[in-house]
Structure 1
Amino acid sequence: MASAAAVNAALADQADSGEAGEIQEVNMEAQAEGIRTVFSDPTNFNVKHPLYSAWTLWFDSPATKGRNLPQTPISAFPPTPGPATPGVAAAQGWMEDIKRVISFDSVEEFWGLYNNIVAPSKLPQKANYYLFKEGIIPAWEDEANKNGGKWSIQLPRDKNRDNVDKMWLYTMLAAIGETFDPLLTEAAASEPDSTPQSLITGVIVSIRPQFYRISIWTRLAPSYEEEDPLKTRIEGVGAHFKMQVLGYKEGQKLSGPLATEVEFLSHKDSEKGKGKQRKLIA
């Protein structure tokens, strides 16, 4: 039951706004006029829809290498609160040429960013975009990545110049929308209070002289044993990437000149010779 003080306060509010007990009419059209989203006002929006996680966009290209451009030190982005881990320190060398663009944590900020950066099809050769969860740097050595791997596809540049921008957009949307990981999606629908940690740490698009490569990085890699439940979960990420994001059919063969299937390779296997690498094919 409401306290007497609460009732008196409510009656006082009514007295200030009109007759006691009178229902005040709300002008929804007038309220809506004050709502500005990134779609109606890309620079001065006042409404935000939060994402499940915050994200950071990184970029590098031949034009940024060796140049003294402003950037945030890598040590400012440890994977967990506290000082940078040994893994982050080990990545410092090659990360010096990768520039942090911006961090965001809402749908509106994502679209504001997307509408103001160069599309992959217009980037110079050897350029890369890295979109990773805030606090995770795009390096194998990061604690969040060192035990994981990546799903990736290589696409001939000449045949996919008109498609790569859409594929990269859909890849980013699946990442920030947390739809890649089937277990995460199912748990969020049935048990929102006990959702497991997402497997996805980041996504990358790379522009090379003859091909594009799009990758999804995961924080864990399977043992490749049939009974390993993680293998099934990782395979679900690859299937979603191939069919729902890239738009290919189940079982469709993609390999060919300069092209690969949608393949998963652990970061540890990436360091081995090709004859010793173990892969999953979506």
Structure 2
Amino acid sequence: MASTSPNPPSALSGAALQASRAALNAALADQSASADASESLEPGEIQEVDMQAQAEGIRTVFSDPTNFNVKHPLYSPWTLWFDSPATKGRNLPQTPISAFPQTPLPQTPGVAAAQGWMEDIKRVISFDSVEEFWGLYNNIIPPSQLPQKANYYLFKEGIIPAWEDEANKNGGKWSIQLPKDKNRANVDKMWLYTMLAAIGETFDPSPTTNGSNADSLITGVIVSTRPQFYRLSIWTRLAPSATEEDGLRERIEGVGRHFKTSVLGYADAAKLAGPLATEVEFLSHKDSEKKGKAAKKIII
């Protein structure tokens, strides 16, 4: 069933609005003169544009959530995936997405474990604009209302939310575990801010701000519900080694610090560990696979 209390973008404030605007700033919207006007120009003549009239005619999703006429593309397209014990063996995700047709699953990397796991995860929808993101967000069940052992995965288009994917296999994840009884009222906001920071490229902004063609470190973000806690995770395509000297560790730590302070809203020096709770911790996927050995964690 659909969420009964959608959170329209025009009502956003604080960190959510800031992150949304970061998503807009990561996009390029060209406002060009009409073709007819251009064709009537003499060689070397410059078309005069009434900028005030154009500005007055622009309605964004922030000023008019239902009748906007401008679409803001994101820096990268994204895909939302979902799984839950209640959806195993079924063709549709247990979310109110009846308006969105089910799409075929892309090929899973050639690893038997990943193939079995991917049979139960469902691809919900892909999007590449701010407006499509809000259309999705306002029509799915929030994490606080999901059944136990359910997961949302928001990953860049073309990247499967599995360790074995080429984009993930050399990476790791930042994560935090939050007790359910103390965070039921906060987890929806935390998940929203995490998604906004991901699609707005604010976790690792360097590829979008310096004109570089380098890939962002971020491949996807996840929220998981468990019987006694929630877990939020940010997956990266690379993980620092003990001998790295190229600044990767500093960049990875920057992601974790932004996650802790700007997205989750904790003080930089805050200690978060406790019963069922963890600090904001980074662990490579390769270390996660090691059984019975001390993990090499980075803690912010």
TM-score bracket for this pair, using the shorter chain length: 0.7 to 0.9
1:60 counterpart residue number = 83
In terms of fraction of residues, the more helix-rich structure is 1
1:206 counterpart residue number = 224
User: Please, which of 246, 250, 261 is the counterpart of residue 264 of structure 2?
Assistant: 246
Gaps of 5+ in 1: 1-5, 12-22, 77-83
- After TM superposition, list the pairs within 5 Å mapping 1:53-202 onto structure 2: 53-69=76-92, 71-75=102-106, 85-87=109-111, 91-181=114-204, 184-185=205-206, 188-189=208-209, 191-192=210-211, 194-202=212-220
Instruction: Kindly state the Cα deviation for residue 133 of structure 1 after the two structures are TM-superposed.
Output: 0.1
1:48 counterpart residue number = 71
Amino acid at match of 1:180: F
User: Is the 8 Å Cα contact of residues 109 and 115 (structure 2) preserved in structure 1?
Assistant: no
Gaps of 5+ in 2: 1-36, 43-47, 93-100
Structure 1 residues 256 and 178: CA distance shift in structure 2, 3 A = same
Task: Give a deviation string over 1:233-261, Cα, whole Å, max 9, x none.
Answer: 11111111111111111121100000000
Provide runs of 4+ in structure 1 moved above 6 Å.
23-27
Structure 1 residues 25 and 48: CA distance shift in structure 2, 3 A = closer
User: Is the 8 Å Cα contact of residues 153 and 263 (structure 1) preserved in structure 2?
Assistant: yes
Structure 1 residues 99 and 45: CA distance shift in structure 2, 3 A = farther
User: Is the 8 Å Cα contact of residues 56 and 103 (structure 1) preserved in structure 2?
Assistant: yes
Structure 1 residues 269 and 32: CA distance shift in structure 2, 3 A = same
Q: In structure 1, how many angstroms separate the alpha carbons of the residues matched to 2:190 and 2:50?
A: 47
Q: TM-score under structure 2 normalisation?
A: 0.76
User: Is the 8 Å Cα contact of residues 109 and 164 (structure 2) preserved in structure 1?
Assistant: no
Structure 1 residues 39 and 111: CA distance shift in structure 2, 3 A = farther
Q: Could you say what secondary structure the match of 1:91 adopts?
A: helix
Instruction: Kindly state the Cα deviation for residue 130 of structure 1 after the two structures are TM-superposed.
Output: 0.3
User: Is the 8 Å Cα contact of residues 59 and 98 (structure 1) preserved in structure 2?
Assistant: yes
Structure 1 residues 72 and 92: CA distance shift in structure 2, 3 A = farther
1:276 counterpart residue number = 294
Q: In structure 2, how many angstroms separate the alpha carbons of the residues matched to 1:75 and 1:112?
A: 24
Q: In structure 2, how many angstroms separate the alpha carbons of the residues matched to 1:8 and 1:208?
A: 62
Amino acid at match of 1:266: S
1:14 counterpart residue number = none
Structure 1 residues 24 and 107: CA distance shift in structure 2, 3 A = closer
Q: Percent identity?
A: 72
Q: Could you say what secondary structure the match of 1:152 adopts?
A: strand
Structure 1 residues 53 and 122: CA distance shift in structure 2, 3 A = same
Task: Give a deviation string over 1:67-120, Cα, whole Å, max 9, x none.
Answer: 2448434335xxxxxxx6435x75221111111111001111111111111111
Instruction: Kindly state the Cα deviation for residue 230 of structure 1 after the two structures are TM-superposed.
Output: 1.3
Instruction: Kindly state the Cα deviation for residue 273 of structure 1 after the two structures are TM-superposed.
Output: 2.3
Q: TM-score under structure 1 normalisation?
A: 0.80
Q: Could you say what secondary structure the match of 1:75 adopts?
A: coil
Q: In structure 2, how many angstroms separate the alpha carbons of the residues matched to 1:86 and 1:271?
A: 18
